[in-house]
């Protein structure tokens, strides 16, 4: 869709305006407190300002990408999606929240969420397109800049989907069960149940490929309330996403290591611990581990030890690969870091790997970690600039949101 010049000029002006503001990070406690006394008009007034800010911040960074990447058809498509969503939201800037407007707003939010549902896969294809068109012609430092950008793009996407899901669930036509979830947050989330759900889905895929799967062992420790089951305040879908990716990796490693010893396939062990500061979910496998020299590659986009998927996916196929683009681990880590947790891997080559998901125990400390665009952001997309910030795996210091 090509915009007429007056519309384009207005959209560009609004983009520059909203990108001057920093996003307003919320904590899980703030999401919960608002959801308990949900007011649709207040949510509308907040989102019509906050969503354009979050969209504008990341759109300005998309514009800083190298031209050879921006010209990739799939990347251009993603950019168009963001522009269209931004234009739809700013249409509400000065509209009062009548009942009809609130209803239309919910519909538009659902449309934006659906439009961006394939952003991860489409960006992955865009990078493949760029690599095919510019073989051996990558500018120095481009890979580092792309890694930096994708962390920020996908973190921004997680945060925008969180805001949209909260509003559409709370005020959409299909209300959740009263007293259970508050939007997409479960104040009494049972991590063991989420572990089992993620395991069963991954086991189904594993059995399709390897005609078998490791068993699951779960153990809980509640340091704060000994003898009581562990319960957390969290977004179950986020935890499920992380666990599913980890189970896929562990199952594949175990099955390939023990392919000639099917009678002795070791279990995958999950330990859930609730302590004063963190809730830890540790997954341990005996899949042979990872050489220390390769550990730094595991959170890099486009790195995968599995065969790369076809460029054009057959949506009619009933089989889903256990691995593919290599985006599973880096995006899972973003989900963990989104509310100031983390995901870490520790490997013993020749034996197995431990993966630990850290989540904040206190909901008022679980604040959104959001990328922020400002005038200095351009330097992170220039060649030969070493990048050290919260989204860089080489940075060992405390995560930062301001760059």
Active site members: 241, 245, 248-249
DSSP string of 285-342, one letter each residue: --S----GGGGGGTTSTT--SSPPPPSS--TT-----SS-SS-HHHHHHHHHHHTT-E
**Residue 268: beta bridge partners?**
216
Dihedrals phi, psi of 182, to nearest 5 degrees: -115, 95
Task: List Cα–Cα distances, 248 to 202, 245, 280, in angstroms.
Answer: 6, 5, 19
User: 46: closest CA among 28, 31, 29, 61?
Assistant: 31
What single DSSP character describes residue 27?
Answer: B
Q: Are 75 and 130 in contact (CB under 8 A)?
A: yes
Q: Are 128 and 311 in contact (CB under 8 A)?
A: yes
Give the SS3 label for residue 281: strand
Distance between CA atoms of residues 169 and 181, nearest Å: 10
User: 372: closest CA among 394, 396, 391?
Assistant: 391
Distance between CA atoms of residues 87 and 7, nearest Å: 10
Distance between CA atoms of residues 131 and 135, nearest Å: 6
Distance between CA atoms of residues 353 and 228, nearest Å: 29
Distance between CA atoms of residues 141 and 163, nearest Å: 34
């Amino acid at each position: 869709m090509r915009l007429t010049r007056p519309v384009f000029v207005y959209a560009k002006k609004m983009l520059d305006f909203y990108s001057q503001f920093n996003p307003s990070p919320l904590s899980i406690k703030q999401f919960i407190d608002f959801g308990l006394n949900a007011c649709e008009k207040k949510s509308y007034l907040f989102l019509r300002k906050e969503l354009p800010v979050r969209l504008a911040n990341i759109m300005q960074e998309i514009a800083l990408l190298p031209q050879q990447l921006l010209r990739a058809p799939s990347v251009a498509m993603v950019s168009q999606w963001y522009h269209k969503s931004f234009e739809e939201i700013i249409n509400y800037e000065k509209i009062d929240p009548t009942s009809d407007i609130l209803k239309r707003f919910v519909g538009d939010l659902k449309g934006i969420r659906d439009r961006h549902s394939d952003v991860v896969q489409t960006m992955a294809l865009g990078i493949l397109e760029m690599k095919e068109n510019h073989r051996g012609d990558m500018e120095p430092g481009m890979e580092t800049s792309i890694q930096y950008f994708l962390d920020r793009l996908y973190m921004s996407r997680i945060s925008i989907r969180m805001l949209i899901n909260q509003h559409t669930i709370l005020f959409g036509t299909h209300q959740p069960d009263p007293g259970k979830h508050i939007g997409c947050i479960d104040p009494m989330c049972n991590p063991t149940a989420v572990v089992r759900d993620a395991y069963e889905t991954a086991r189904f895929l594993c059995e399709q490929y390897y005609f078998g799967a490791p068993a699951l062992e779960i153990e809980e420790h509640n340091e704060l309330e000994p003898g009581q089951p562990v319960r957390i305040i969290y977004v179950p879908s986020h935890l499920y996403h992380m666990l599913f990716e980890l189970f896929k990796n562990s199952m594949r490693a175990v099955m390939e290591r023990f392919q000639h010893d099917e009678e002795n396939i070791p279990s995958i062990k999950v330990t859930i611990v609730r302590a004063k500061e963190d809730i830890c979910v540790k997954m341990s496998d005996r899949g042979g581990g990872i050489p220390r020299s390769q550990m730094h590659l595991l959170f890099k986009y486009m790195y995968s030890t599995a065969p790369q998927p076809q460029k054009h996916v057959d949506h009619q196929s009933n089989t889903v690969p256990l691995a593919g683009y290599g985006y599973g681990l880096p995006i899972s880590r973003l989900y963990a870091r989104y509310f100031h947790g983390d995901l870490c891997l520790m490997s013993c080559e020749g034996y197995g790997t431990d993966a630990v998901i850290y989540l904040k125990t206190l909901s008022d400390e679980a604040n959104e970690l959001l990328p922020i665009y400002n005038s200095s952001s351009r330097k992170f997309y220039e060649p030969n600039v070493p990048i050290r910030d919260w989204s860089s795996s080489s940075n060992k210091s405390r995560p930062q949101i301001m760059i």
